[in-house]
């Protein structure tokens, strides 16, 4: 059977950027910048994004395209038997991340519903805090929203690559940019906004330490959707004539643009209202709604913001879903429709304990972490980096010639930075990534 393809180059770039641009950019990036020293973090982060992120992304797309397969088949074909274990790991990681990512995605649906139905009118900051705590810790409500979020993902993925994922990305990514631009203008025109801009851009190098470096590399990996097979899978549907380095640079550029714009949206607003920029995860779900509530047309702004967050989350979630669906379809010969429904259902069920861990199952902990935190910790610090290292080693050492062929389109499109890319994959990226793993474990 003929493998499905993206309908156009821009379709692939928007879908891959949709995968990359997610809660990581809008929810996590601004609070990391807030907590890790503003502009200093930004500089380190951008350096990693360009040096390591682009290289690993090129390797992942090339791996998928040469093998024309899901991550498991891709490692098997590119590097042979034993390496396929890393393909399996990538599929497992996508499944695990999707299970809790969808729980957070569900919160964005909840906020949209509550904003539209007027459930937040007249709320003060303290009330937002209370209601967020009540939402995430209740037994049923967040699970219903988690289910709704997953169902939307299933409805998109079930329509296939060009008819589902590409079409959805072509509508949602432009919408995301419009909403983001609108919100940035509103935030920057608030009195006192400049203090936030300054905080965001001016480096405070006293924050430069191992924690910050490791957080920056971890975030670079997560935000680019590396290490869990998403770009291997998306790359497998990319036409043979397209330039992989060029596509990768576009995706990284768009991802960085959204993260920086999210910084310009969130930090100026936080400073204008004298809030704490290092408030952590609550920044988006508590601090920002409290700020919006004080503004004229606040509910409309709030709606725009949560639609933005939802769009960012769903375009990422579908890439994770597609990893697992492609694996099930290709390795077990299951039709796309039933595979999508089953994978959606099983992932939803596996997400339930993550949701309950924030409420009634909160006391069940391992190494001091509840189930939700534990999944995030393991995938972030071990599974993603392992997948990244494996891809680098296969690309740089094991099957280097095959990768060069793929990246240069059989020699037709020379890649200027090939030597730099080779040594990044062979030495620099693996060492940097292994360092992050060691740091997470032993605090070195």
Site string for ligand PFF, 203-222 (x = CB under 6 A): -------------------x
Instruction: In angstroms, give the least distance from the CB of 98 to ligand PFF.
Output: 8
Determine if 223 is a binding residue for ligand PFF (CB under 6 A).
yes
Greatest CA separation for the chain: 63
Task: Tell me how far apart the alpha carbons of residues 436 and 115 are, in angstroms, rounded to a whole number.
Answer: 40
DSSP string, 193-237: HHHHHHHHHSB-GGG-SHHHHHHHHHHHHHHTT-SSSHHHHHHTT
Site string for ligand PFF, 302-331 (x = CB under 6 A): --------------x--xx-----------
Determine if 383 is a binding residue for ligand PFF (CB under 6 A).
no
Is the Cβ of residue 183 or residue 252 nearer to ligand PFF in the bound state? Answer: 252
DSSP helix/strand/coil, 369: strand
Question: Cβ distance 159 to 312 under 8 Å?
Answer: no
Task: Tell me how far apart the alpha carbons of residues 16 and 359 are, in angstroms, rounded to a whole number.
Answer: 34
Task: Tell me how far apart the alpha carbons of residues 388 and 405 are, in angstroms, rounded to a whole number.
Answer: 21
Instruction: In angstroms, give the least distance from the CB of 338 to ligand PFF.
Output: 23
Instruction: In angstroms, give the least distance from the CB of 345 to ligand PFF.
Output: 20
Determine if 108 is a binding residue for ligand PFF (CB under 6 A).
no
Instruction: In angstroms, give the least distance from the CB of 315 to ligand PFF.
Output: 9
- Provide CB contacts within 8 A for 258, sequence distance 6+: 21, 25, 26, 176, 177, 180, 312
Binders in 78-97 for ligand PFF, by CB under 6 A: 94, 97
Question: Cβ distance 425 to 396 under 8 Å?
Answer: yes
DSSP string, 17-64: HHHHSSHIIIIIHHHHHHHTTBHHHHHHHHHHIIIIIHHHHHHHHHHH
Question: Cβ distance 108 to 309 under 8 Å?
Answer: yes
Instruction: In angstroms, give the least distance from the CB of 130 to ligand PFF.
Output: 27
**Site of tokens 């957080």:** 215
Determine if 20 is a binding residue for ligand PFF (CB under 6 A).
yes
- One residue of 6, 11, 16, 25 binding ligand PFF per CB under 6 A: 25
Cβ count within 10 A of residue 196: 28
Site string for ligand PFF, 229-258 (x = CB under 6 A): -x----------------------------
**Site of tokens 């330490």:** 209
Instruction: In angstroms, give the least distance from the CB of 24 to ligand PFF.
Output: 2
- One residue of 23, 172, 244, 352 binding ligand PFF per CB under 6 A: 23
Is the Cβ of residue 24 or residue 268 nearer to ligand PFF in the bound state? Answer: 24
Angle between helix axes 39-48 and 210-223 (nearest 10 degrees) is 50
- One residue of 22, 64, 268, 385 binding ligand PFF per CB under 6 A: 22
Size of the site for ligand PFF (CB under 6 A): 16
Determine if 31 is a binding residue for ligand PFF (CB under 6 A).
no
Instruction: In angstroms, give the least distance from the CB of 96 to ligand PFF.
Output: 11
Token representation of residue 395: 């690309």
Instruction: In angstroms, give the least distance from the CB of 28 to ligand PFF.
Output: 7
Q: Could you list the residues that contact ligand PFF (CB under 6 A)? A: 19-20, 22-25, 94, 97, 222-223, 225, 228, 230, 316, 319-320
């Amino acid at each position: 059977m003929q493998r499905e393809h993206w309908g156009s180059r821009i379709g692939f770039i928007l879908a891959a950027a949709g995968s990359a641009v997610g809660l990581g950019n809008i929810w996590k990036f601004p609070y990391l910048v807030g907590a890790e020293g503003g502009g200093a973090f930004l500089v380190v982060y951008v350096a990693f994004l360009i040096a390591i992120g682009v290289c690993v992304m090129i390797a992942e797309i090339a791996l998928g395209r040469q093998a024309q397969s899901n991550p498991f088949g891709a490692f098997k074909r590119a590097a042979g038997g034993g390496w396929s274990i890393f393909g399996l790991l990538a599929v497992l990681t996508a499944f695990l991340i999707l299970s809790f990512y969808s729980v957070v995605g569900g919160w964005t649906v909840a906020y949209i519903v509550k904003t539209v139905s007027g459930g937040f009118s007249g709320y003060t900051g303290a009330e937002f805090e209370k209601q967020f705590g009540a939402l995430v810790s209740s037994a049923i409500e967040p699970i219903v929203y988690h289910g709704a979020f997953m169902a939307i993902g299933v409805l998109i993925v079930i329509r296939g690559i060009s008819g589902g994922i590409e079409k959805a990305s072509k509508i949602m990514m432009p919408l995301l940019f419009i909403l983001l631009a609108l919100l940035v203008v509103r935030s920057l025109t608030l009195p006192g906004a400049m203090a936030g801009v300054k905080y965001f851009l001016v480096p405070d190098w006293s924050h430069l330490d191992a924690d910050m470096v490791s957080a920056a590399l971890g975030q670079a990996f997560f935000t680019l959707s590396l290490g869990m097979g998403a770009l291997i899978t998306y790359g497998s549907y990319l036409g043979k004539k397209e330039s992989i380095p060029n596509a990768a640079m576009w995706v990284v550029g768009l991802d960085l643009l959204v993260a920086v714009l999210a910084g310009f949206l969130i930090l100026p607003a936080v400073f204008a209202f004298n809030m704490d920029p290092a408030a952590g995860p609550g920044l988006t779900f508590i601090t920002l709604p409290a700020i919006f509530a004080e503004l004229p047309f606040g509910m409309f702004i709030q709606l725009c913001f949560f639609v933005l967050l939802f769009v960012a989350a769903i375009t990422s979630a579908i890439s994770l879903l597609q990893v697992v669906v492609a694996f099930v379809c290709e390795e077990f010969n299951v039709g796309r429709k039933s595979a999508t429904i089953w994978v959606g259902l099983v992932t939803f069920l596996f997400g339930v304990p993550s949701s309950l861990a924030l409420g009634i199952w909160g006391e069940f902990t391992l190494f001091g972490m509840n189930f939700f935190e534990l999944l995030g910790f393991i995938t972030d610090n071990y599974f993603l980096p392992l997948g990244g290292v494996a891809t680098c080693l296969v690309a740089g050492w094991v099957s280097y010639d095959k990768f060069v062929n793929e990246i240069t389109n059989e020699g037709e499109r020379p890649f200027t930075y090939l030597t730099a890319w080779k040594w990044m994959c062979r030495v620099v990226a693996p060492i940097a990534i292994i360092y992050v793993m060691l740091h997470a474990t032993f605090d070195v």
